[in-house]
């Protein structure tokens, strides 16, 4: 029921509907993440022209790429951690498009996490994959003069803490947090983007 409530909030949000280039994680039940299968199906099943990217772990040194997918059934395989991720090549045998080599900016990133605080702090699983990717992408966006994408984490209510989550100086804060209770924003840019769309 909680997953459905989160999805309902997301699907009805104009900032989601208006996003055309989106990165989203592929949820894993054993990690107790907010389920994204219906979200990915929504994005991939619409006739609108979405570009959907999902993560592929490249090594144990926190390297992760966001690769373009068009179909969940054919494009995803289980990795060594039992998490679905895209194959490096598409069904035609061509390398998949990746976010860091794209010619257009991302609009939205949907992020997982273990815990979140009410100031935008996000506690991951300790691998640093998302933080390294986000740092690199935000530098790329700045270099190209692109607007930064909206960073929205999906969370169950018990994951949201009043006290700060432990973060490192290299960790990237989220812009907003979506739970079954709706959305919390953590900066004026996110507030403006979410309230004006």
Q: What is the pLDDT of residues 6-31, one digit of tens each?
A: 999 999 999 999 999 999 999 988 88
Burial 5-37, CB ≥16 within 10 A → b, else e: ebbebbeebebbeebebbbbbbbbeeeebbbbe
124 labeled part of a ligand binding site: yes
33 labeled part of a ligand binding site: yes
Tell me how many domains the chain contains. Answer: 1
127 labeled part of a ligand binding site: yes
Please check whether residue 44 is in contact with residue 52, taking contact to mean a CB–CB distance below 8 angstroms. yes
Reading across the β-sheet that carries 51-57, which strands appear in turn?
A: 64-69, 51-57, 21-24, 108-111, 150-154, 176-179, 182-185
Residue 26 has a pLDDT of: 95
Q: Which two tokens stand for residue 88?
A: 């490096």
Please check whether residue 58 is in contact with residue 65, taking contact to mean a CB–CB distance below 8 angstroms. yes
Per the structure, the complete domain to which residue 92 belongs is given by 2-196
126 labeled part of a ligand binding site: yes
Q: Which two tokens stand for residue 165?
A: 């989550």
Query: Where residue 52 sits, what CATH number does that domain have?
Result: 3.40.50.10420
Residues of the chain with pLDDT under 50: none
130 labeled part of a ligand binding site: yes
129 labeled part of a ligand binding site: yes
178 labeled part of a ligand binding site: no
16 labeled part of a ligand binding site: no
Place of tokens 């960073």: 151
Residue 48 has a pLDDT of: 61
Burial class (CB in 10 A: 0-12, 13-18, 19+), 42: middle
């Amino acid at each position: 029921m909680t997953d459905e409530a989160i999805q309902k909030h997301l699907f009805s949000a104009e900032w989601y509907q208006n996003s055309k280039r989106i990165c989203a994680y592929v949820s894993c039940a054993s990690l107790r993440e907010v389920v994204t299968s219906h979200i990915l199906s929504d994005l991939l099943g619409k006739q609108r022209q979405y570009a959907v990217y999902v993560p592929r772990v490249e090594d144990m040194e926190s390297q992760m790429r966001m690769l373009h997918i068009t179909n969940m059934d054919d494009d995803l395989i289980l990795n060594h951690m039992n998490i679905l991720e895209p194959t490096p090549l598409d069904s035609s045998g061509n390398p998949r498009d990746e976010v860091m080599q794209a010619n257009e900016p991302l609009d939205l990133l949907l992020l997982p996490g273990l815990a979140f605080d009410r100031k935008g702090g996000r506690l991951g699983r300790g691998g640093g994959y998302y933080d390294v990717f986000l740092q690199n992408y935000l530098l790329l966006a700045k270099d190209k003069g692109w607007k930064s994408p909206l960073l929205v984490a999906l969370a169950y209510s018990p994951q949201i803490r009043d006290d700060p989550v432990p973060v490192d100086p290299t960790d990237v804060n989220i812009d907003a947090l979506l739970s079954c209770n709706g959305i919390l924003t953590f900066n004026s840019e996110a507030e403006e983007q979410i309230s004006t769309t």
